[in-house]
Amino acid sequence: MYQTTKYVSGAVAPKRGYESRRPDLKVQKNEAPEQTKKISLPWIVTVIAVVLLVGIVMYRYNSMLQLDYKLTDEKKQYYELVDKNTQMKVFIEKNLDLNHIKSKAIYELDMQKPGANQKVPVSVPVQDLSVATPAAESTPDSSIFSFFANTLKAVFG
């Protein structure tokens, strides 16, 4: 009753085929019905819609990149103009400095200050002359009165 069987494992074990286990069973290939093999109109419309949406997204991304490049270029120009502006301000302040003007006049133009005995002629046009007249003395009462009168004229006036 008791039988001893010899088991062999590994690469030397005999290979059993799939059919040897159940020879009465055959594997059949399932074929899909003809209706599912056809491409239907909703699938085509869906694919076209997806392709269009992807194209729109790519177009918008491209336009955003172009605007970003333009913005970067304009920022560079802006910062260059700001630098030029500060350089011009420094140049103007330097040239308006009296010590700088004095040193330029003395060292570059060989100018000198006039001495004590040197006469410097000054010509003034006739139109620029003004005549100074002595101010009329006013009494303190009239000046207070005129102050109040001018104040009332300004308020109600």
Residues in the chain: 157
Per the CB < 8 A criterion, the answer to whether 22 and 16 are in contact is no
SS3 label, residue 86? helix
If one counts every other C-beta atom within 10 angstroms of the C-beta of residue 105, the result is: 13
Residue type, 79: Y
- Residue 42: predicted pLDDT: 87
With bands split at pLDDT 50, 70 and 90, how would you rate the model's confidence at 54? very high
Maximum Cα–Cα distance across the chain: 158
Q: Which residue has the higher pLDDT, 78 or 107?
A: 78
- Does the structure show a pLDDT above 80 at 52? yes
Q: Which residue has the higher pLDDT, 74 or 115?
A: 74
With bands split at pLDDT 50, 70 and 90, how would you rate the model's confidence at 85? very high
Runs of H (alpha helix) within 26-117: 34-37, 41-96, 98-103
Q: What's the rounded Cα separation, in Å, for the pair 126 and 93?
A: 35
Structure tokens at 107: 């060292």
- Does the structure show a pLDDT above 90 at 56? yes
- Does the structure show a pLDDT above 90 at 66? yes
Least confident residue range of 62-71, 131-140, 148-157: 131-140
Q: Which residue has the higher pLDDT, 137 or 79?
A: 79
CA distances from 31 to 28, 34, 43, 67, 124 (A): 9, 9, 22, 55, 117
Q: What's the rounded Cα separation, in Å, for the pair 120 and 128?
A: 19
- Residue 68: predicted pLDDT: 96
